[in-house]
Chains A and B, each alone.
Chain A
Amino acid sequence: MAQVVLEGVTKIFEGDVTAAKDISFTAQEGEFVVLVGPSGCGKSTILRMIAGLETVTEGRISIGERVVNDVHPKDRDIAMVFQNYALYPHMSVYENMAFGLRMRKFAKGEIDTRVKDVAEILELRDYLRRKPKALSGGQRQRVALGRAIVRHPQVFLFDEPLSNLDAKLRVQMRAEIAKLHQRLGATMIYVTHDQVEAMTMGSRIVVLKDGLLQQVDTPLNLYNHPVNKFVAGFIGSPAMNFFACDVENGAFKFANRNIALPSELQSRLKNKTILGVRPEHFQAEKEAADGWVKIKPLIEVVEPMGSETYLHFNLDGLTGVARLNADVPAEAGKSFTLAFNLNNCHFFDAETEQAL
């Protein structure tokens, strides 16, 4: 086990494309850190720099006590699981898993024990003689995991390992990887574009956008205290609703109404402010307490999810989503009163988009 430290890491590709800029964070020993962001945010590039598959333009990456900027991937003592599995097609499952150990000149008996142990954990025992092409997607993914686990590396790197699996298998593998982390207690760095994966798996999450680090925090802190509008909108599903509004004389104008602000908010807000309300923070009128803001938008679409219902609403041109109990008596095409507590809301500077 080892910690991974990134200090001011920048990657500029040929043609002056900046993929990652001044990225600093630490994955502690045994921690499960998730890098998340939309495609093109640089998360895979950062992972590949940690793996040694891309050079570092500026900054420092250390694994354990050692700076690894110029260390060959094979000498970094890491294992990586690729999005497309990258199994060796001409080798059997057994050989695929044993390959890394053979390259490191392990004794035959040791290799055999390790491969069989891991095959047992991953339920691959019956497939050891098969070639990858004779396996299903989920089994291939498990072989890819197995190939990483047998090595007992200091750090595991995952590059969107579940994105090629179907939804059901993905949930299953997500749990398996989480179990694996508990069992091995190894440092893991996991890249995904799926915020649900990030929230459910990460001990800490690194949110990235356009090659810039936005926020590093625990899942709940990201959800409750996003530092800017991007993080607020990215974490949580359905995404947070944003409404632009003007603040004047201790009140903010929202949907042609003046809403008085509690005193502690007054000093924080600027003239141009974006109000952020999570869909789950809307309530039906009857469940609202005193002092909550009430709006009466037109419901455009009702999406019953079974356990809850999503209401897509339109309030004088402002659109949003509310997430309410399954039995909410709203109907599409009619208006419905929604309420929310200002204390649950987020406010962002309209210019900088930073949280206020």
Chain B
Amino acid sequence: MKKLLLYIFLTIFTVATLYPILNVISISLRPGDRLLTTSLALIPPDASFQSYVRLFTENPFLRWLWNSTLVAVAVTLTGVALASTAGYAFSRFRFRGRNFGMAMLLTTQMFPATMLLLPLFIMLAKLHLINSYIGIVVVYTATALPFCVWQMKGYYDTIPVSLEEAALIDGCSRWRAFYKIILPLAAPALVITALFSFLTAWSEYIVAAQILQSEQMFTLPLGLKQFQSNMTTEWGLYAAGSVIISIPVIALFLFLTRWLVSGLTLGSVKG
């Protein structure tokens, strides 16, 4: 009986999770903009890739895809580089302002991004970074970093200091001990950092809408919004775009999960 309830519960949530995804796929395959059809068929009887074709031929979708990729990759690389080193410093060194710094990183997480929109816009305007990728990469990285630094620091804390000390004695400089010994062991945390940074940049809309103003520079979420005008919405295009947007995320996730294994430091020291 308990099991039955559990299954019902799980089924409801599975449906709730899967239905929107399947629905979007279904809409993307419908010719025209038949959003509100009552048919439950996943693949509509007159299915066509018309929306997908139009997406690439009649719209600068490829351009937006490229823009988004550029921004997300830049944010991911900067995020990983900064979070892995900053987290290491917070974990291993005792310096003035360490606790304050950690607290400040946490504090930034308390404010919603929308609240920071205006000051960010003013700052970027003064720096002439409006409508520039550097501007948006800086903002996205800054948004993703606090969480990433914290979780990198947390992970480094679990790696015994004696491993670096052994490496120092074995002939490594501090930096070499870090990237030869510690960084490989921190792979699971690096993966989280990379995923988090990538996702922050890939699907963000509000900040992008403020900073990027020319259609040529739009990222995918901004591009999608283009299909929605005052009078009509191109649901077919919208859905097809959504499906394509989600593919790289899924691919990246599947690719990175192989490093998401725990217990990498197992056996290094007596537990």
- With A84-B160, A84-B162, A88-B163 as contacts: A73 and B168 at CB distance below 8 Å: yes
- With A88-B181, A164-B270 as contacts: A51 and B265 at CB distance below 8 Å: no
A85 to B169, Cβ gap below 8 A?
A: no
A74 to B267, Cβ gap below 8 A?
A: no
How would residues 160 to 182 of chain A score, 1 for a CB under 8 Å from any chain B CB and 0 otherwise? Answer: 00001000000000000000000
B269 to A53, Cβ gap below 8 A?
A: no
The reply to whether the CB of A277 lies closer than 8 angstroms to some CB of chain B is no
How many residues of A are in contact with the other chain, CB < 8 A? 34
- With A53-B168, A131-B267 as contacts: A86 and B173 at CB distance below 8 Å: no
The reply to whether the CB of B106 lies closer than 8 angstroms to some CB of chain A is no
A133 to B166, Cβ gap below 8 A?
A: no
A74 to B270, Cβ gap below 8 A?
A: no
How would residues 230 to 271 of chain B score, 1 for a CB under 8 Å from any chain A CB and 0 otherwise? Answer: 000000000000000000000000000000000111111110
A132 to B267, Cβ gap below 8 A?
A: yes
- With A14-B94, A86-B163, A90-B185 as contacts: A80 and B267 at CB distance below 8 Å: no
B267 to A82, Cβ gap below 8 A?
A: no
The reply to whether the CB of B46 lies closer than 8 angstroms to some CB of chain A is no
- Segment of A96-104, A203-211, A221-229, A257-265 engaged in the interface with chain B: A96-104
Task: Give the residues from 140 to 183 in chain B that come closer than 8 angstroms, CB to CB, to chain A.
Answer: 160, 162-163, 165-173, 176, 181
The reply to whether the CB of B32 lies closer than 8 angstroms to some CB of chain A is no
- Segment of A116-124, A134-142, A232-240 engaged in the interface with chain B: A134-142
A87 to B268, Cβ gap below 8 A?
A: yes
The reply to whether the CB of A79 lies closer than 8 angstroms to some CB of chain B is yes
How many residues of B are in contact with the other chain, CB < 8 A? 25
Task: Give the residues from 170 to 225 in chain A that come closer than 8 angstroms, CB to CB, to chain B.
Answer: none
B185 to A89, Cβ gap below 8 A?
A: yes
The reply to whether the CB of A78 lies closer than 8 angstroms to some CB of chain B is yes
In the complex formed, the residue of A with least CB distance to B166 is A86
The reply to whether the CB of A129 lies closer than 8 angstroms to some CB of chain B is no
A88 to B268, Cβ gap below 8 A?
A: yes
* B-chain residues with CB within 8 Å of residue A346 when the two chains form the complex: none
When chains A and B are docked, how far (Å) is the Cα of A90 from the Cα of B183? 11
A89 to B170, Cβ gap below 8 A?
A: no
A89 to B268, Cβ gap below 8 A?
A: yes
B269 to A86, Cβ gap below 8 A?
A: yes
Task: Give the residues from 46 to 80 in chain A that come closer than 8 angstroms, CB to CB, to chain B.
Answer: 51-53, 72-74, 76, 78-80
- With A99-B170, A103-B170 as contacts: A133 and B162 at CB distance below 8 Å: no
In the complex formed, the residue of A with least CB distance to B265 is A89
The reply to whether the CB of B184 lies closer than 8 angstroms to some CB of chain A is yes
When chains A and B are docked, how far (Å) is the Cα of A103 from the Cα of B179? 13
* B-chain residues with CB within 8 Å of residue A140 when the two chains form the complex: 267, 270
In the complex formed, the residue of B with least CB distance to A14 is B94
Q: A89 touches which one: B171, B264, B270 (CB < 8 A)?
A: B264
Please provide the 9 A-B residue pairs with the shortest distance between their CB atoms, ordered closest to farther: A133-B267, A103-B171, A84-B269, A100-B170, A89-B268, A132-B267, A86-B162, A86-B166, A164-B270
8 further A-B pairs in the complex, CB-CB below 8 A; given A72-B173, A90-B264, A103-B171: A51-B169, A72-B168, A73-B169, A80-B166, A84-B160, A88-B167, A103-B172, A135-B267
- A and B contact pairs by CB, cutoff 8 A, 18 listed: A53-B169, A73-B168, A73-B169, A80-B166, A82-B165, A82-B269, A84-B160, A84-B162, A85-B269, A86-B163, A86-B269, A89-B268, A100-B170, A132-B267, A132-B268, A133-B267, A134-B267, A164-B270
